[in-house]
């Protein structure tokens, strides 16, 4: 049979995998059965294709095969078209020789990566990059089509040429987000897309209207400068509302860093007008200065600089795979702005780093903190008990998600398997315990660094309990390292800290009696009043022994 050249080539190249890619395996199997029972159809040339008449159905088969038409109502590639294609393949010269070398998928390579990135968005792009980096990406097979299995969606995509004829198990006729994700994975595997370039794109996302940003920045600068000109003693309480309004403007303009700076300033102004005992001029000036400087930076910034200065609203949770955690400690927290709850601190045994889980609830809907209902204890990830009960237990998380700052998500897709209770000394590596306070000062106590970077497990050479400071209402414990350098454990007495102070007083008694020699402390480092200090989250008197 004489077929147009293009069509003959397309038929020769289309193996079963390609035909499955055009529709699905079921349709191809049905077409094979139909072919076996088919009487010889009528065939005639029609333009650049061939018209095949099978009973009441007429198909126009042309190259590329995905653009073939059929008289049946089906809008997709139907079994009639596949039957006609299979018959034409037989007529064109029997089954083709299997190709040693597959197609080079030029159309897949040529598809612009930027378009894929834009279609996926920042969140999906992060997930793709994580899976690519960690080797937990999709299973991909290549023959005449590229089959990509994305089990986490779930979806299976068949990419073929031309790309418009690719199929997805979501049945979308368009170039859906699953196809975009599959194609990006393939491009990363083939080296067409570079992870480094995509990582830059990941942090940037949508652009800003530079004129709008400039306008808002100028407005913030002028407002704050006017407040400095007037003077705090002459400002009316209405300044709080002014700052709050500016923060809202920044939120709308997607400038979260400036929004947060203004909300912090709002907090200080509110404390000033409320005559709060904790208010300090230096703190207000610092927050005002920060907001002003940030606005000034945004005013003159180009697009790339705006991206860096604008910040992010909320850290996204990204998949982090399988985590082998140990719950080292927990801390009750009351946050300015009306949140209260517990933060749980985990040690990841393979990565050798800390993760946290925050269980904080708002108190501002209740009648003051004193009357807040006790919240239910957290039991995420399908745990058979509360996290509090899992203290000092090992647990394995599969499908975990966390922010870049190491805060774990309570997502339902993550499952935990709880092991038994273990003494921390059996889990925490001895080389990770800090004994040199000079190294702590240098590496783990930088002001304004994230709390995660200031967490430390410390074994002092000696502990010296101090008398309770009745003037400052502070409990202190002086720790010394082997070189005589000191580090101060300090807890200011507040209602919320009463339990902590009581426990530390018990420790101090044990130290004085000599029943405890070298406890291990876990806490957050900071610098204050010329001293290196530690806020204690936990202390352990039996580090290696079973509890």
Partner 1 sequence: MRELLDDMALLLTDLLQSGMDTGGPSAVPRLRRLAVRCEDVGLHTGGALLTGLAEALDARSHTVTKDDLPAAALLCRAARYVSLCRERLEEEDIRAGWQSAAHPTGEQEQGGA
Q: Does 219 bind partner 1 (CB under 8 A)?
A: no
* DSSP category for residue 316: P
3-state secondary structure (DSSP) of residue 478:
strand
Candidates 229, 302, 371, 515: give the one binding partner 1 (CB under 8 A).
229
DSSP E strand boundaries for 128-213 = 139-142, 146-150, 155-159, 167-168
Q: Does 242 bind partner 1 (CB under 8 A)?
A: no
Q: Does 173 bind partner 1 (CB under 8 A)?
A: no
Q: Does 439 bind partner 1 (CB under 8 A)?
A: no
By C-beta, is 251 or 296 nearer to partner 1?
Answer: 296
Q: Does 221 bind partner 1 (CB under 8 A)?
A: yes
Candidates 9, 164, 225, 498: give the one binding partner 1 (CB under 8 A).
225
Q: How many helices (H) and strands (E) does the chain have?
A: 15, 19
Q: Does 222 bind partner 1 (CB under 8 A)?
A: yes
Q: CA 122 to CA 275: how far, in whole Å?
A: 44
3-state secondary structure (DSSP) of residue 343:
strand
Number of residues that bind partner 1 (CB under 8 A): 42
Residues 465 and 479: beta-carbon distance below 8 Å: no
Least Å distance, CB 292 to partner 1, is 4
Least Å distance, CB 482 to partner 1, is 12
Candidates 75, 174, 233, 367: give the one binding partner 1 (CB under 8 A).
233
By C-beta, is 372 or 461 nearer to partner 1?
Answer: 461
Q: Does 476 bind partner 1 (CB under 8 A)?
A: yes
Stretch binding partner 1 (CB under 8 A), from 143-151, 216-224, 260-268, 395-403: 216-224
By C-beta, is 420 or 530 nearer to partner 1?
Answer: 530
Q: Does 486 bind partner 1 (CB under 8 A)?
A: yes
All residues at 6 or more sequence positions from 101 whose CB lies less than 8 Å from its CB, including other chains: none
- How many other CB atoms are there within 10 angstroms of residue 19's CB atom? 25
Closest CA to 260 of 273, 251, 269, 272: 251
Q: Does 507 bind partner 1 (CB under 8 A)?
A: no
Give the helix, strand, coil percentages of the chain, each rounded to 5: 40, 25, 35
Q: How does 135-171 read in b/e, with b if 16+ C-beta sit within 10 Å?
A: eebbebebbbbbbbebeebebbbbbbbeeebbbbeee
Q: Does 23 bind partner 1 (CB under 8 A)?
A: no
| Residues in 267-286 at the binding interface with partner 1, rule: CB under 8 A | 281-282, 284-286
Burial class (CB in 10 A: 0-12, 13-18, 19+), 358: middle
Q: Does 484 bind partner 1 (CB under 8 A)?
A: yes
* DSSP category for residue 41: P
Stretch binding partner 1 (CB under 8 A), from 81-89, 93-101, 422-430, 526-534: 526-534
Closest CA to 357 of 310, 395, 384: 395
SS (H, E, C) 66-88: HHCEECCCCCCCCHHHHHHHHHH
Least Å distance, CB 492 to partner 1, is 14
Please give the helix or strand (H or E) that residue 239 lies within, else none: helix 238-252
| Residues in 292-351 at the binding interface with partner 1, rule: CB under 8 A | 292-293, 296
By C-beta, is 303 or 528 nearer to partner 1?
Answer: 528
Candidates 478, 493, 501, 518: give the one binding partner 1 (CB under 8 A).
478
| Residues in 283-302 at the binding interface with partner 1, rule: CB under 8 A | 284-286, 288-290, 292-293, 296
Question: Could you list the residues that contact partner 1 (CB under 8 A)?
Answer: 221-222, 224-226, 228-234, 281-282, 284-286, 288-290, 292-293, 296, 437-438, 441, 447, 466-469, 476, 478, 483-486, 527-528, 530-532
């Amino acid at each position: 049979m004489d077929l147009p050249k293009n069509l003959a080539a397309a038929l020769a190249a289309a193996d079963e995998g390609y035909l499955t890619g055009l529709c699905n395996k079921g349709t191809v199997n049905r077409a094979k059965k139909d072919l076996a029972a088919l009487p010889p159809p009528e065939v005639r040339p029609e333009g650049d294709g061939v018209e095949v008449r099978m009973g009441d159905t007429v198909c126009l088969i042309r190259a590329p095969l995905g653009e073939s038409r059929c008289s049946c109502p089906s809008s997709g590639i139907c079994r009639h078209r596949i039957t006609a294609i299979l018959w034409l393949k037989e007529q064109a010269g029997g089954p083709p020789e299997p190709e040693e070398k597959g197609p080079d998928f030029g159309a897949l390579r040529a598809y612009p990566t930027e378009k894929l990135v834009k279609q996926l968005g920042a969140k999906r792009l992060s997930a793709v990059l994580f899976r690519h980096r960690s080797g937990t990406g999709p299973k991909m097979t290549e023959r005449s089509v590229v089959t990509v299995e994305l089990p986490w969606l779930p979806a299976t995509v068949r990419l073929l040429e031309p790309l418009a004829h690719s199929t997805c198990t979501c049945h979308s006729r368009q170039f859906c987000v699953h196809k975009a994700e599959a194609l990006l994975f393939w491009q990363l595997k083939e080296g067409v897309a570079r992870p480094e370039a995509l990582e830059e794109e990941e942090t940037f996302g949508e652009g800003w209207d530079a004129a709008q940003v400039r306008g808002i920045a100028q407005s913030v600068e002028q407002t704050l400068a006017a407040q400095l000109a007037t003077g705090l003693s002459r400002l009316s309480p209405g300044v709080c509302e002014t700052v709050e309004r500016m923060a809202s403007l920044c939120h709308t303009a997607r400038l979260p860093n400036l929004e947060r700076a203004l909300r912090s300033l709002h907090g200080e102004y509110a404390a000033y007008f409320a005559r709060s005992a904790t208010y300090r001029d230096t703190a207000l000036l610092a927050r005002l200065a920060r907001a002003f400087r940030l606005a000034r930076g945004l005013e003159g910034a180009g697009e790339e600089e705006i991206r860096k200065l604008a910040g992010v609203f909320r850290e996204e949770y990204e998949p982090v795979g399988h985590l082998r955690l140990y719950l080292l400690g927990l801390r009750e927290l009351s946050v300015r702005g009306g949140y209260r709850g517990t933060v749980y601190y985990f040690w990841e045994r393979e990565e050798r780093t800390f993760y946290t889980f925050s269980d904080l609830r708002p108190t501002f809907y209740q009648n003051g903190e004193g009357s807040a209902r006790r919240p239910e204890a957290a039991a995420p990830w399908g745990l058979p008990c509360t996290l509090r009960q899992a203290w000092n237990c090992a647990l394995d998380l599969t499908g975990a998600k966390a922010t870049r700052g190491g805060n774990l998500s309570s997502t339902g897709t993550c499952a935990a398997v709880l092991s038994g209770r273990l003494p921390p000394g059996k889990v925490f590596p001895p080389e990770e315990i800090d004994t040199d306070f000079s190294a702590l000062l240098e590496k783990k106590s930088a002001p304004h660094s994230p709390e995660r970077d200031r967490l430390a497990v410390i074994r002092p050479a000696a502990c010296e309990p101090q008398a309770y400071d009745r003037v400052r209402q502070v409990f202190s414990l002086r720790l010394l390292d082997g070189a005589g350098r000191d580090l101060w454990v300090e807890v200011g007495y507040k209602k919320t800290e009463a339990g902590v102070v009581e426990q530390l007083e018990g420790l101090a008694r044990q130290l004085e009696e000599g029943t405890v020699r070298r406890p291990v402390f876990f806490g957050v480092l900071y610098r204050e009043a010329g001293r290196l200090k530690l806020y204690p989250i936990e202390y352990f008197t039996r580090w290696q022994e079973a509890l």
